[in-house]
Chains A and B, each alone.
With several copies, the nearest count.
Chain A
Amino acid sequence: MNKVVANAADAIRDIQDGMVLMLGGFGLCGIPENCISALVEKGVKELTCISNNAGVDDFGIGLMLQKKQVRKMISSYVGENAEFERQLLSGELEVELIPQGTLATRCMAAGYGMPAIFTPAGVGTEVAIGKEVRNFNGKDYLMEYAFEADFAIVKAWKGDTHGNLIFKDTARNFNPLMAMAGKITIAEVEELVEAGSLDPNQIHTPGIYVHRIFQGKDYQKRIEQRTVRKN
């Protein structure tokens, strides 16, 4: 049951060209920094990345975009990223935009073994094109399919050797949802502890969903919009 691997390189060792990856995080908050670096290092290509955002030019998934490792992004908001925009306009990169709640729920659906879910998000818009619309109690809903990925790569605050995960603050976001949706799920954590050290009532992601875990290092945790009030 010990799921500990040595490091990010070991965790991603069998990720191959053309695979579908999920990457946790919202903006640059709660992203799997170590695994992204290892993916850049490994140079694996033609990836489909399911992630709420696409990082910035020089951080997060932006680093993989720089190396042209991504063939397709599936996101709700791709933000401000010049290289992303260039690749998109040149046709090197394909983008599928999905409402944020739909994206989250489609990941969750996979983790719950539900093949499809219903959401009103996008009804009557171009998002609905080609999708089944169904009326319940007078309201229209789109049927959206569960999302699976070859690998889900998430970042947690604490984790134990059995793969149980705890997230911190809004760095939780998509991480526990994607953790449930990976055929293989990799978790990098700020603090890795022995099984039995975490309170079983406080686990956000039960270890059954996690296949590999390691303690990350050198977290930069960049802030995208530093906003403060005066002392």
Chain B
Amino acid sequence: MSLTKEQIAQRIAKELKSGYYVNLGIGIPTLVANYIPKDMHVVLQSENGLLGMGPFPYEGAEDPDLINAGKQTITTVPGSAFFDSALSFGMIRAGKVDLTVLGAMEVSDSGDIANWKIPGKMVKGMGGAMDLVASAKNIIVAMMHTNPKGESKLLPACTLPITGVRCVKKIVSDLAVLDVTPEGFKLLERAPGVSVEEIVAKTAGKLVVEGEIPEIML
């Protein structure tokens, strides 16, 4: 059984450590916030200028001056701080954010990522994605292993215009958990009931499989 989007988020949450400052991208990454253990202290950064992002507001308590990078109304938690966009990307660039979780359209086996542009389609812009991938010290990508046609999104080289080079450290897909290593993707865990053979078949980039591959524990 491949993981649901929620389960991908849940698995990524296991990478968190208490004391981490974390930036969660739009989409699956946002869901990671729902799986932070109650006794763990993680501070969420929103690149539009907030450290200490809280959950969505209760109905009627929405504040138009308080949104996240996805333009959603949010709240703050105690100990939060607001700042301008330059300082926000400054702390990202300086490596102060411990973990960045992003979605991707393609990842190459050398860690390149493509997630901002599809030639021929209306280009909306890269937003903060290029800054994040170029600067973050630890990037986990949350993605589907294949596209709707069943083609691998883990490639020898990205076919789409890239967002950043050699930056992805780990991938959590619906099928597997993989590290990006100098030897290529390294299979660490497989989704419950998904065979190593299936993952091998659906991974176009270089894939290293060593020893017994355990199932993902949620």
Contacts and interface: CB of A to CB of B under 8 A. Distances in A.
Interface of A: 1-2, 26-30, 52, 75-80, 85, 88-89, 97, 99-105, 107-108, 110-114, 119-127, 157, 160-162, 164, 167-177, 180, 194-196, 200-201, 203-204, 206-209, 221-231
A120 B49 CA distance: 20
B193 interface: no
Nearest to A112: B90
A99 B43 CA distance: 24
B84 A177 contact: yes
Given A79-B124, A104-B89, A228-B57, 5 more contacts: A99-B130, A100-B126, A119-B131, A170-B65, A228-B56
B64 interface: yes
B85 A177 contact: yes
Question: A-B pairs with the 7 shortest C-beta distances?
Answer: A113-B93, A196-B78, A101-B89, A195-B79, A101-B131, A112-B90, A124-B165
Contact of B89 (A30, A105, A209, A222): A105
A30 B47 CA distance: 15
Interface of B: 18-19, 21, 41, 43, 45-52, 55-59, 61-68, 70-74, 76-97, 112, 122-131, 134-135, 161-165
A196 B19 CA distance: 17
A107 B94 CA distance: 12
Given A200-B76, A230-B59, A231-B59, A52 B51 contact: no
Contact of A78 (B51, B78, B124): B124
Contact of B93 (A101, A157, A168, A204): A101
A169 B86 CA distance: 15
A161 B84 contact: no
A168 B65 contact: yes
A112 B85 contact: no
A81 to B, nearest CB: 9
Contacts, number: 246
A66 B38 CA distance: 48
Contacts of A119: 93, 131, 134
Given A85-B122, A200-B76, A226-B73, A120 B85 contact: no
B94 A110 contact: yes
Contacts of B76: 200
B76 to A, nearest CB: 6
Contacts of A196: 77-79
A97 B123 contact: yes
B48 A170 contact: yes
A45 B124 CA distance: 23
B94 A170 contact: no
Contacts of A228: 56-59, 61-62, 73
B85 A229 contact: no
A161 B79 contact: yes
Contacts of B57: 228-229
Contacts of A200: 50, 52, 76, 80-82
Contacts of A75: 125
Most buried by B among A26, A169, A225: A169
Contacts of B94: 110-113, 180
Nearest to A201: B82
Most buried by B among A27, A88, A164: A27
A107 to B, nearest CB: 7
Given A120-B93, A162-B43, A77 B65 contact: no
A173 B86 CA distance: 8
Contacts of A26: 48-49, 67, 71, 85
